[in-house]
Structure 1
Amino acid sequence: MKLLEGKTALITGVANDYSIAWGIAKALYAHGAELAFTYQNERLKEKMHGLVKQFNPRLVTELDVTKDEDVARVGQEVLQTYGQVDIFLHSMAFVPKEDLHGEFAKISRSGFALANDISAYSLINLTNALLPAFEAAGGGSIIYLTYIGGEYAISTYGMAGVTKAALEISGKYLAQSLGERKIRVNGISAGPIKTLAARGIKNFSGLQQKAQDFMPLKGEMTPDDVAGTAVFLGSDLSKSITGEIIHVDNGFHCVRG
């Protein structure tokens, strides 16, 4: 049974075929969704087109979320190309290296602002740009990816955790704001998974091992473990769920030793 037949999904944040967004894209496509993709800059254009061609997307477009004109253009392109959007996957984050690895009390003003702009405000700004496409669909589902570092102070996660906290509360306010439009907004809090982004976290392998030691369900997680939850949140099976954060982390969030 294909749960997403006839639906269109905009996927952001695919860096390579190890990323969580890639695992989700595969699952959405397998369940019948038509996909559109964004990539960060011209340098990644050729790589991105080669990576996603198996999905036969009609739209693969550049997106720099720090530029309002880029965000607005992507919203227009989605509407013009597909006539609507039913699912929007937000999977993007950035913290300057010096602010991610440095002492938290010494985080720069500019780094704090840039990190929250890209990691959290982009959810709000892109949602606004996509509203006409969502309204054409009669509603839809926004899914953002987060991490438990937005709920608790996790060693070495630092400023990235602050951006996740901002992202999560933004998602809840969006859920409140968009409910009358039948647009649902939910987060997936994934366990530590080896991705390109994760490699930027200092001592990520140690963080991952520590989490695995406490997880009630054992075993290393992969992007495919998160993908099924994204299919559920994108489908009509979740039509009464909004403002939620679902932990897909082998139960790590519920134990502290």
Structure 2
Amino acid sequence: MSPFSLAGKKGLVIGIANDQSIAWGCAQQFHAAGAELAVSYLNEKAKPYVAPLAERIDALLLGPCDVRESGQLRGVFEAVTEQWGELDFVLHSIAFAPKDDLHGRVVDCSRDGFAQAMDVSCHSFIRVAQYAEPLMKNGGSLLTVTFYGAEKVVTDYNLMGPVKAALESVTRYMAAELGEKGIRVNAISPGPLKTRAASGIQRFDEMMARAADRAPQHTLVTIEEIGDYANFLVSDGARTVTGGVHYVDAGYNIVA
């Protein structure tokens, strides 16, 4: 069997909003590689967009998961425990910041807005690891999604830059702490692309145009291309790859 096959593996995908989501691109590739999947949706408003996608990938579980709501993330993992009793990988692809804080200077962001952004976008990944750890009895893979604005200042990325920087640091620390149990923790860093989450960033079309112009390959990446790399990271082919930030951005990150 190919080391990149996910046949027999069970995975949870958190963060599909619609068919333009990075999480959807990843879920499609996980499914194509043979994984059994569980999928969450944000709320009842989002469910009509996510449920048909879950059917397309034969998801065995579909449930609500707003990490701001007490008990919902735990409920997802309880359902996974009841269905499978184990888990091989989780994709965490969620982020949020209040609009007023996201559109303003970092210097001007509110305490509450900063706390909300950090809780949803970063601390929720820690909570995912807490719930996933006992289910990953034979090791596993935790994967989150970041952006180059964590490393360098990107115009209009604003508050999400420091928040994603924290997420990348959390990735490294959790990789160190969970490594002895065979649990790998990685972050995938795509170039800018049009998603529902990205639409909240001011002048995002300009950011995408700059990225395509600057990247050595002069193109934007697709959610399917991101999914291909995500598939590698959760597969046995990446069994000794952990603690890294992995760029899928047509080379955008290497150009000064």
Structure 2 length-normalised TM: 0.96
Q: Counterparts of 1:67-106 in structure 2 under 5 Å?
A: 67-106=69-108
Q: Counterparts of 1:79-228 in structure 2 under 5 Å?
A: 79-135=81-137, 138-228=138-228
The letter of the residue matching 1:242 is: T
Structure 1: which 4+ aligned runs deviate by more than 3 Å? none
- Which residue of structure 1 aligns with residue 8 of structure 2? 6
Which ranges in structure 1 are unaligned for 5 or more consecutive residues? none
Is this contact kept in 2: 1:38–1:60, CA < 8 A?
yes
**Deviation of the 1:104 alpha carbon:** 2.1
**Deviation of the 1:131 alpha carbon:** 1.6
- Which residue of structure 1 aligns with residue 19 of structure 2? 17
Q: 1: distance between equivalents of 2:176 and 2:227?
A: 25
Provide Cα deviations, 1:43-87, integer angstroms capped at 9, x if missing partner.
Answer: 223332222111222210111212442222222211111221111
| Candidates 7, 30, 33, aligned match of 2:32 | 30
**CA RMSD after TM alignment:** 1.2
Q: 1: distance between equivalents of 2:83 and 2:57?
A: 16
SS at match of 1:141: strand
Is this contact kept in 2: 1:91–1:145, CA < 8 A?
yes
Q: 2: distance between equivalents of 1:196 and 1:42?
A: 16
Q: 2: distance between equivalents of 1:56 and 1:225?
A: 21
Provide Cα deviations, 1:95-139, integer angstroms capped at 9, x if missing partner.
Answer: 10000101221100000000000000000011101222112xx01
Q: 1: distance between equivalents of 2:49 and 2:38?
A: 15
Is this contact kept in 2: 1:74–1:129, CA < 8 A?
no
Provide Cα deviations, 1:173-195, integer angstroms capped at 9, x if missing partner.
Answer: 11011011100001111001111
The letter of the residue matching 1:57 is: A
Aligned residue pairs, count: 254
Greater fraction helix: 1
The letter of the residue matching 2:228 is: G
SS at match of 2:46: helix
- Which residue of structure 2 aligns with residue 232 of structure 1? 232
SS at match of 1:43: coil
- Which residue of structure 2 aligns with residue 64 of structure 1? 66
**Deviation of the 1:3 alpha carbon:** 0.8
Is this contact kept in 1: 2:105–2:159, CA < 8 A?
no
Q: 1: distance between equivalents of 2:69 and 2:179?
A: 27
Q: 1: distance between equivalents of 2:121 and 2:188?
A: 15
Q: 2: distance between equivalents of 1:45 and 1:212?
A: 33
Q: 1: distance between equivalents of 2:226 and 2:236?
A: 18
Q: Which moved more, 1:171-180 or 1:1-10?
A: 1-10
Q: 1: distance between equivalents of 2:166 and 2:7?
A: 33
Q: 2: distance between equivalents of 1:229 and 1:119?
A: 21
1:43 aligns with 2:51: no
Q: 1: distance between equivalents of 2:191 and 2:74?
A: 32
Structure 1 length-normalised TM: 0.95
